[in-house]
Amino acid sequence: MKARDLFRVPDKFTLREEDAARQPLGDGSKSGDKERTDQVLERVSDLQTILYAQRKHKVLLVLQGMDTSGKDGAVRSLYSGINPVGLRATSFKAPTPLEAGYDYLWRVHQHVPAKGEIAIFNRSHYEEVLITRVLKQIGSKECQRRYGHIRDFERMLAETGTTIVKVFLHISKDEQRKRLQARLEDPKKQWKFDQSDIDQRKKWRTFQDAYEDAILATDADHAPWFIVPADSKPHRDLAIATLLLETLQDLRLRWPPPDAKLAELKIR
Amino acid sequence: MKARDLFRVPDKFTLREEDAARQPLGDGSKSGDKERTDQVLERVSDLQTILYAQRKHKVLLVLQGMDTSGKDGAVRSLYSGINPVGLRATSFKAPTPLEAGYDYLWRVHQHVPAKGEIAIFNRSHYEEVLITRVLKQIGSKECQRRYGHIRDFERMLAETGTTIVKVFLHISKDEQRKRLQARLEDPKKQWKFDQSDIDQRKKWRTFQDAYEDAILATDADHAPWFIVPADSKPHRDLAIATLLLETLQDLRLRWPPPDAKLAELKIR
């Protein structure tokens, strides 16, 4: 079964019923998952070179998930195997005053992939219907309006040649507890800790509901959502790499036709 | 001897006398160089995490060199070992019409590192005193004026907390011939070939002179140039990784002081 089918969000679903620990790929061992991820990324890397050479398709990978769900780790894993020429990751933090002065798609639009590129969004425009809603900065009506903007924006991107893959990294509340605790106790991780991590954890259920709602409202065949179980880091990386591989395979990429005359040229 | 001393450009030098094949680091074997590069990058990666956590220093690595000298390869090597959070590579191509409408430092300034970041420039503002000069788009007087702009710009960056490392990847004319020929004959590399590669190769000597001149005019202790021999790819990667490691070591990076109260907090 393809990863695209294994992880695609069903028509009806609740995050409560999604198992964050399931590992449908790999053999259940960390070392096995890591080895397989390396193999998958090698194939991704080969296809990405063609993508870059052909300069026809654009690929956008959106990563969303609760704190500690492993967005940074997933980006790092992808960079370990893929040529950074033609790969571009953007982390969207809380908007700066400058950014907040514009509509909320403005800063995101600047970082969409160009022809031949794979762009990774580490958080994205979805923050504007998640944290803003949980903190009651926007109400239900405004949220629905934004779903509309997001759907329109993503359709435009798809119709102008962008293949969109949206991933929700799904961790359990207990796994998040362990990871936050480790941040606090390890002096080399404590700097990552932020009081807002705890505030947001207290609103766990409200966040999960906001995610469910946003995912269901914006899932589409041209902009599909995938729920990737993320309690296991190696399996999470394997799942994302495999989703990306299948996406590139479906594009049926081709080398630009070689020029026979050039092949005969002698450099002096 | 430190790599910073081994490769630092001397007060008087000519590229003609610089050996592009010398390998002062490592044991002379490709596998040995690769292994050592991995080890060096592991230490770079540890220090970069502190750099990122501390958010105090900024590091700018400028890569320049003739076609096929291995700028892309060097960037890829760095990304293979360093966490992409806090690492940002920008490739500067020929200016777009939009970019050309501004002064030539405008597009470059947008990509300098912020606090805690390492930025890599794959080509840079130096193109504006190299190719432009070789193609006689600017004369000697304008070129001198631009050296002044560049010196001022880099001094400002250094005085506002940026550690600058400028690397010239030095390949021999014969090694370039081999690499261009390989591009032509391999269908998987031919797309990289551009007629301008040959035009520029014909002006090899003029380019080398322009590099020499620009390097000597802009070398400074706060913005030093290093001549890295680049005929061997693994040794090139080892040399750049080592330069970066020594740079980070000199910054005497420290973890942000841990908060004892936080360490006692229990997450529920």
Partners of residue B267 in chain A, C-beta under 8 Å: 177, 180-181, 184, 198, 201
- Looking at residue B258, its pLDDT comes to 85
pLDDT score recorded for residue B202: 95
Q: What is the mean pLDDT of residues A117-144?
A: 96
Query: What is the percent of chain A where pLDDT is above 70?
Result: 100
Q: What is the pLDDT of residue A253?
A: 96
Contact: B190, A72; criterion CB under 8 Å: no
Residue A77 makes CB contacts below 8 A (sequence gap 6+) with A37, A41, A237, A240, A241
- Averaged pLDDT, A204-225: 97
Kindly state the helix (H) or strand (E) to which residue A58 belongs, with its residue range. strand A58-65
* pLDDT score, position A2: 96
- Residue A262 makes CB contacts below 8 A (sequence gap 6+) with B184, B190, B193
- For B53-104, write each residue's pLDDT tens digit: 999 999 999 999 999 999 999 999 999 889 998 999 999 999 999 999 999 9
pLDDT at B11: 86
Per CB-CB distance under 8 Å, the chain A contacts of B259 are: 190
Contact B185 A263 (CB under 8 A): yes
Interface test with B, best of A72, A79, A176 (most B CBs within 10 A): A79
| pLDDT at A263 > cutoff 90 | no
Answer yes or no: do A79 and B84 touch at CB < 8 A: yes
pLDDT for A11: 86
Supply φ then ψ for residue B257, to 5 degrees: -60, 130
Query: Distance between CA atoms of B237 and A76, rounded to whole angstroms?
Result: 20
Determine the pLDDT at residue B260: 85
pLDDT above 90: residue A260: no
Question: Among A80, A262, A266, whose Cβ lies nearest the Cβ of B190?
Answer: A262
**B162 has which bridge partners?**
B58
Which residue bears the tokens 């599909």?
Answer: A224
Do A79 and B79 lie within an 8 Å CB cutoff?
A: yes
The CATH number that domain A3-253 falls under is 3.40.50.300
Residue A74 — pLDDT band, cuts 50, 70, 90? very high
A259 neighbourhood in chain B, CB within 8 Å = 190
CB contact under 8 A, A188 and B49: yes
Give the rounded percent of residues in chain A with a pLDDT score beyond 90: 89
Instruction: Determine whether the interchain pair B180/A267 forms a contact, defined as Cβ–Cβ distance below 8 Å.
Output: yes
Cβ partners under 8 Å of residue B147, min gap 6: B129, B214, B217, B218
Contacts of B177 in chain A (CB under 8 A): 267-268
Q: Which ipTM score applies to this complex?
A: 0.83
pLDDT of B107: 96
DSSP for B12-31 reads S--GGGS-TT---SS-S-HH
Residues for chain B: how many in total?
268
Considering only the beta carbons, identify the residue of B53, B84, B190 that sits closest to A191: B53
Chain-chain contact of B91 with A79 (C-beta, under 8 angstroms)? no
In this prediction, residue A259 has a pLDDT band, given cuts at 50, 70 and 90, of confident
pLDDT < 50 positions in chain B: none
Task: Give the pLDDT band of residue A12 (cuts 50, 70, 90).
Answer: confident
Return mean pLDDT, chain A: 95
pLDDT tier, A92 (very low <50, low <70, confident <90, very high otherwise): very high
Give the minimum alpha-carbon distance from B12 to chain A in angstroms, rounded to a whole number. Answer: 30
Close Cβ partners of B95 (under 8 Å, ≥ 6 residues apart): B104, B107
Mean pLDDT across A19-31: 95
Residues of chain A with C-beta less than 8 angstroms from the C-beta of B255: 187-188, 191
Domain ranges of chain A: 3-253
Mutate: best of B77, B79, B83, B193, partner A, most A CBs <10 A: B79
CA distance B140 to chain A (A): 29
